[in-house]
C-alpha cells in the first residue's frame, strides 16, 4: 500500500470536501480517502499499482484544482477567492437596494411610479448579481453534476429571487399593471449575495490567518546564510565567509550567525557564545545563554554575541519542517465525531434542497399564492448553512495547533482534545522526565585496593581507573546515567577502556570484556551484584565489579526537571491522580517522590511492568496520560489514552506520542492540558450552535410559525446564515486570543 497526498483548491464548504472524498473513494485501488476542508489536503491510501494521475484527473473533473503534494511542502494553500473590493461593492449596492425597497413605506428615495421604482431596484441589483457569479457558476455546476454544495443553495436562492422579480417586472411593463411589482424581491437577491459574501469573506480571512500562523513558521528562516569555506588551515573556523542558499547547506557546513540574525539550520555550536531567543519554536519567553557544544535549532534568534554553528541536518529534515509535518498530519487525522459531522455536512445540502421544494409545494397547495410559496422556498434555501457545521471542528483544531506551537508543543493528533478533558490519572516516568536525567557523581567508594585479573596480575584500583572502566562499558549506551558517567570521565580527560562482548541486563546493568586484560567487568545495581556474586548490597548505589570481587560503589544525584513542581501542583488542583513509575530501587524512588509530593510511587519496575500498569489503570476505567522520553517508555506512551514525549525524547518515544513538547520545561504539559480542554469546549459549543441554529432557522424560514406572525424574509435568512458562520469563526478565534501568549 502507498499514501498519496493532493493539495486541492476551490473547495468552499463541507459539501465540496465530501464530494471529493466520495468520488475518490469509488476509484478502483483506493482503500481509504480523507479530505480536510481547511488545509485543502486530500490523502488517499491505495495499492502500489494505483496511478496518481487518476486521482488528480478525478478531482479536476469535479471542478476543483489539484496538484500532487511533494514531501517537503507543508504549507496550507491559502484561498483568496473572495475579494475585499467585491464585498464592499455588494454591501453598498445591496444596502441601497434594501433602503430603496423600504422607501415605499416611508416615502423616501422613490418616484411616484411603482414600475419605475422596481426598474431602479433591478439596476441596483445588477452589480451584485454580477459579483454573485462567484456563487452562481460553481453552484449550478456542482448541482448539475449531482454534488450540490453551499454555493448551490446561495445561487439557487438568489437567482430564483432575481429571475422571479424580473418576470414580474416584465409582466408589469407589458400589461401596465403595477400590482405585479409588489411581490418583486430584487433586494432579497442582492442581500442574499452581499450577506453571504460577508460571511464567507470573514470565514476565508480567519482560515487564511489560521493557516498563515502555522505555515508562516517557514518564514522565520532566512533564505541565505553566511558559511565558512572549507579551509586547509589547522584552525577549523578561520575559513573565508561566503553567502549560501539555506536549502543548499550540507551537514557539516559551518554557519556564522551574528547578533540580530536568525540561526538558519539545526546544529551544534562549535565556537563562540551568545544569548538567544527561542520563543518562536519552544514557547520559552526568557532568553537563554548558549555556548560551545550546545544544540540550536533553525529559527532561533541571536540577541547578542556571535556563534559558529555546524549544521547537523539538511533543510528538509530541520525541526521546523518536522513540526509542520506533524501539524499537517494531525489536521488530516479525523476523529469519529469529525467523520460523523463530515457525513452530515455531505448530505446536508441535498436534504435542504428537498425540504425547500417540499415547503414550496405545501405552501402553494395551502395558500394558492405562488409568490408566498416562492418566498418560503427561497428563505428556506438560504437560511441553511453547511459551512457552520463543516467549520465547527477543523477551524478550532487548526487554531489550537497554531497557538500550541507558540506555547512550545505540537499536537500530533487533534482527536485528543476531547480525551484530555476526561483525564483523571497522570503517569510519569521518573528519569529524564520528572528528573533531568543529568546525573552527577555524589561519591565513589573504592571497595578493593587491587584488581585480580585473569592473567594472575594485580592492578591498583583508583577513582580514575574506575571511571575509565565504566566509560568503556557505557560508551555506546543512550541511558541518561551512562551518558552522565561517560561525560564525567571526559571532563577528567580520562580514556575509556576498550571493551568487547557486551551483555545488557535489562534494568539491572551491563557487562563487557576488557581488550587489555581479558577481564569481564560488570556495572549495575544491587540486583546484578546479587545475581553475579550472590552478595546483598545497598540499593542506593551502583557497583563496578568482576565475577569474583567488588571494585567500587558509585552514588549519583539527579535534579528535578524544570517546571515539574508547577505541573504537579496544577494536576493536583484538578484532582488528577499522579503516579510515578521507575526502575530505581524503592528507597531512591521514595526519596524523590516525597520531594515532589507524589504519593503513588511504583519502583523497581521493568519496562514491561510499566506497560502492564498502564493497561491495568485503563482496565479499571481510568483515563490515563503518560509522560515519558525513553525507548522503554514507547509501549506505555502508545497504550495510554494520551502519550506525551518531552523535547529530546528518543525517536521511538516521539513517534508513539500524541503530544510532543518543543522544550524541556515540564510545565508545558500544563499548557497542553489547558489548550486541549478549552478547544474541546469550543468544538462542542460550535457544534451545538451550528446544529441548533440550522434546525431553528429551517423551522422559522419554512413558515411553520407564520400563524404567530413569525416569518423570515429571504434577506433575513441570508443575514442569519452569514451570522451563523461568523459566530463559529469568532468562537474558534477565541482559542487563538486566549492562548496568544505563553503562560
Task: Please name every residue paired with 554 in a beta bridge, in sequence order, or none if there are none.
Answer: 444, 542
| 308: exposed, middle or buried (Cβ count in 10 Å: 0-12, 13-18, 19+) | buried
Catalytic residue among 429, 584, 633, 658: 429
Arithmetic mean of pLDDT, 692-712: 86
Q: Which of 2-11, 330-339, 495-504 has the highest mean pLDDT?
A: 495-504
| pLDDT confidence bin for 141, thresholds 50/70/90 | confident
Task: Please name every residue paired with 656 in a beta bridge, in sequence order, or none if there are none.
Answer: none
> Which pTM value belongs to this model?
0.75
CA separation for the pair 420, 670 (Å, rounded): 11
Is residue 545 within 8 Å of residue 527, measured between CB atoms? no
Task: Please name every residue paired with 228 in a beta bridge, in sequence order, or none if there are none.
Answer: 241
239, 313, 492, 334: which is closest to 18 by C-alpha?
A: 334
Poorest-pLDDT segment among 194-203, 522-531, 533-542: 194-203
Poorest-pLDDT segment among 202-206, 468-472, 597-601, 727-731: 202-206
CA separation for the pair 499, 698 (Å, rounded): 79
CA separation for the pair 461, 453 (Å, rounded): 12
State the pLDDT at residue 104. Answer: 60
Q: Which parts of 107-235 fold into alpha helices (H)?
A: 114-131, 133-144, 150-175, 186-215
Arithmetic mean of pLDDT, 540-563: 88
Annotated catalytic residue 429: yes
Cα dihedral value 210, 212, 217, 221, nearest 10: -170
Taken in order of first residue, the domains within the chain and their CATH numbers are 2-68 (3.30.70.100), 84-213+326-396+680-738 (no CATH), 222-317 (2.70.150.10), 412-423+560-661 (3.40.50.1000), 440-557 (3.40.1110.10)
Poorest-pLDDT segment among 46-55, 174-183, 299-308: 174-183
427, 444, 426, 345: which is closest to 389 by C-alpha?
A: 345
Is residue 516 within 8 Å of residue 497, measured between CB atoms? yes
147, 104, 186, 125: which is closest to 10 by C-alpha?
A: 147
594, 561, 557, 562: which is closest to 578 by C-alpha?
A: 594
Q: How far is CA 446 from the centre of its chain?
A: 53
| pLDDT confidence bin for 704, thresholds 50/70/90 | confident
CA separation for the pair 415, 427 (Å, rounded): 20
State the pLDDT at residue 298. Answer: 85
What would the pLDDT profile of 410-454 be if each residue is shown by its tens digit? 888 777 888 898 999 999 988 778 888 778 888 999 998 888 776
CA separation for the pair 671, 302 (Å, rounded): 26
What would the pLDDT profile of 77-91 be if each residue is shown by its tens digit? 545 567 888 889 988
Q: How far is CA 594 from the centre of its chain?
A: 36
| pLDDT confidence bin for 232, thresholds 50/70/90 | very low
23, 68, 1: which is closest to 41 by C-alpha?
A: 68
Question: Which cell is 100 given?
Answer: 430603496
Query: Angle between the 370-383 and 336-367 helix axes, to the nearest 10 degrees?
Result: 170
Q: Is the pLDDT of residue 670 over 50?
A: yes
What would the pLDDT profile of 248-271 be if each residue is shown by its tens digit? 888 888 899 998 888 888 899 988
DSSP letter assigned to residue 501: E
Residues whose CB falls within 8 Å of the CB of residue 408, separated by 6 or more in sequence, listed in order = 282, 283, 284, 661, 662, 663, 665, 668, 671, 742
Question: Which cell is 554 given?
Answer: 558509585
More confident residue, 58 or 14: 58
Question: Which cell is 68 given?
Answer: 500532487
CA separation for the pair 481, 486 (Å, rounded): 9
357, 5, 7, 338: which is closest to 148 by C-alpha?
A: 357
DSSP 405-459: HHTTEEES-TTHHHHHTT--EEEEEIIIIIB----EEEEEEE--SEEE-TTS-EE
Q: Using the Cα atoms of residue 391, residue 392, residue 397 and residue 403 in order, give the sign of their dihedral.
A: positive
Neighbours of 711 (CB within 10 A): 18
What would the pLDDT profile of 676-691 be if each residue is shown by its tens digit? 999 999 999 998 988 8
CA angle 453, 456, 459 (to 5 degrees): 50
State the pLDDT at residue 741. Answer: 57
Is residue 490 within 8 Å of residue 514, measured between CB atoms? no
Phi and psi dihedrals of 683, rounded to 5? -60, -45
Is residue 73 within 8 Å of residue 18, measured between CB atoms? no
370, 386, 248: which is closest to 314 by C-alpha?
A: 248
Amino acid at each position: 500500500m502507498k499514501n498519496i497526498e493532493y493539495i486541492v483548491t476551490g473547495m468552499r464548504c463541507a459539501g465540496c470536501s465530501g464530494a471529493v472524498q466520495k468520488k475518490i473513494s469509488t476509484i478502483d485501488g483506493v482503500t481509504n480517502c480523507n479530505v480536510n476542508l481547511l488545509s485543502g489536503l486530500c490523502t488517499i491510501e491505495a495499492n502500489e499499482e494505483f496511478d496518481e494521475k487518476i486521482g488528480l484527473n478525478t478531482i479536476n473533473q469535479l471542478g476543483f484544482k489539484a496538484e500532487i503534494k511533494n514531501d517537503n511542502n507543508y504549507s496550507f494553500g491559502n484561498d483568496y477567492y473572495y475579494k475585499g473590493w467585491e464585498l464592499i461593492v455588494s454591501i453598498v449596492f445591496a444596502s441601497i437596494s434594501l433602503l430603496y425597497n423600504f422607501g415605499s413605506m416611508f416615502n423616501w428615495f422613490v418616484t411616484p411610479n411603482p414600475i419605475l421604482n422596481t426598474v431602479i431596484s433591478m439596476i441596483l441589483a445588477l452589480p451584485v448579481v454580477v459579483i454573485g457569479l462567484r456563487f452562481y457558476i460553481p453552484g449550478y455546476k456542482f448541482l448539475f453534476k449531482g454534488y450540490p454544495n453551499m454555493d448551490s443553495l446561495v445561487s439557487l436562492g438568489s437567482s430564483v429571487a432575481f429571475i422571479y422579480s424580473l418576470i414580474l417586472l416584465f409582466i408589469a411593463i407589458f400589461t401596465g399593471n403595477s400590482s405585479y411589482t409588489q411581490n418583486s424581491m430584487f433586494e432579497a437577491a442582492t442581500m442574499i449575495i452581499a450577506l453571504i459574501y460577508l460571511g464567507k469573506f470573514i470565514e476565508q480571512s480567519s482560515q487564511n490567518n489560521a493557516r498563515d500562523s502555522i505555515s508562516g513558521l517557514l518564514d522565520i528562516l532566512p533564505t541565505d546564510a553566511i558559511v565558512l569555506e572549507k579551509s586547509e588551515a589547522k584552525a577549523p573556523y578561520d575559513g573565508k565567509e561566503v553567502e549560501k542558499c539555506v536549502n543548499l547547506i550540507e551537514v557539516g557546513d559551518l554557519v556564522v550567525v551574528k547578533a540580530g540574525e536568525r540561526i538558519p539550520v539545526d546544529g551544534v555550536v562549535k565556537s563562540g557564545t551568545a544569548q538567544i531567543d527561542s520563543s518562536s519554536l519552544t514557547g520559552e519567553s526568557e532568553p537563554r545563554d548558549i555556548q560551545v557544544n550546545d544544540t540550536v535549532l533553525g529559527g532561533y534568534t541571536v540577541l547578542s554575541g556571535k556563534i559558529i554553528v555546524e549544521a547537523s541536518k539538511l533543510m528538509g529534515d530541520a525541526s521546523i519542517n518536522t513540526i509542520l509535518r506533524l501539524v499537517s498530519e494531525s489536521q488530516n487525522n479525523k476523529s469519529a465525531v469529525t467523520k460523523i459531522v463530515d457525513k452530515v455536512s455531505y448530505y446536508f445540502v441535498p436534504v435542504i434542497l428537498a425540504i425547500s421544494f417540499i415547503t414550496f409545494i405545501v405552501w402553494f397547495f395551502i395558500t394558492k399564492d405562488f409568490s408566498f410559496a416562492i418566498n418560503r422556498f427561497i428563505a428556506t434555501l438560504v437560511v441553511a448553512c453547511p459551512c457552520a457545521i463543516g467549520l465547527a471542528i477543523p477551524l478550532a483544531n487548526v487554531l489550537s495547533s497554531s497557538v500550541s506551537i507558540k506555547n512550545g508543543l505540537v499536537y500530533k493528533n487533534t482527536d485528543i482534545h476531547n480525551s484530555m478533558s476526561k483525564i483523571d490519572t497522570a503517569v510519569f516516568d521518573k528519569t529524564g522526565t520528572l528528573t533531568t536525567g543529568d546525573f552527577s557523581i555524589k561519591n565513589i567508594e573504592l571497595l578493593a585496593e587491587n584488581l585480580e585479573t585473569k592473567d594472575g596480575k594485580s592492578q591498583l584500583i583508583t577513582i580514575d581507573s574506575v571511571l575509565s572502566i565504566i566509560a568503556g562499558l557505557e560508551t555506546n549506551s543512550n541511558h541518561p546515567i551512562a551518558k552522565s558517567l561517560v561525560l564525567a570521565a571526559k571532563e577528567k580527560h580520562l580514556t575509556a577502556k576498550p571493551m568487547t562482548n557486551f551483555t545488557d541486563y535489562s534494568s539491572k546493568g551491563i557487562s563487557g570484556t576488557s581488550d587489555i586484560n581479558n577481564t569481564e567487568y560488570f556495572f549495575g545495581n544491587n540486583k546484578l551484584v546479587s545475581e553475579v556474586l550472590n552478595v546483598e548490597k545497598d540499593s542506593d548505589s551502583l557497583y563496578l565489579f568482576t565475577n569474583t570481587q567488588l571494585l567500587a560503589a558509585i552514588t549519583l544525584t539527579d535534579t528535578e526537571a524544570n517546571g515539574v513542581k508547577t505541573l504537579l501542583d496544577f494536576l493536583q488542583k484538578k484532582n488528577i491522580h499522579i503516579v510515578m513509575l521507575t526502575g530505581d530501587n524503592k528507597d531512591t524512588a521514595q526519596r524523590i517522590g516525597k520531594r515532589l509530593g507524589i504519593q503513588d510511587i511504583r519502583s523497581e519496575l521493568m519496562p514491561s511492568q510499566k506497560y502492564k500498569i498502564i493497561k491495568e489503570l485503563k482496565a479499571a476505567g481510568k483515563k490515563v496520560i503518560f509522560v515519558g522520553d525513553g525507548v522503554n517508555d514507547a509501549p506505555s506512551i502508545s497504550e495510554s489514552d494520551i502519550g506525551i514525549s518531552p523535547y529530546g525524547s528518543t525517536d521511538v518515544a516521539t513517534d508513539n506520542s500524541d503530544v510532543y513538547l518543543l522544550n524541556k520545561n515540564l510545565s508545558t504539559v500544563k499548557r497542553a492540558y489547558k489548550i486541549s480542554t478549552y478547544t474541546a469546549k469550543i468544538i462542542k459549543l460550535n457544534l451545538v450552535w451550528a446544529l441548533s441554529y440550522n434546525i431553528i432557522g429551517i423551522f422559522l424560514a419554512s413558515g411553520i410559525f407564520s400563524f404567530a406572525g413569525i416569518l423570515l424574509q429571504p434577506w433575513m435568512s441570508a443575514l442569519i446564515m452569514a451570522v451563523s458562520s461568523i459566530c463559529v469563526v469568532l468562537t474558534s478565534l477565541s482559542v487563538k486570543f486566549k492562548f496568544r501568549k505563553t503562560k
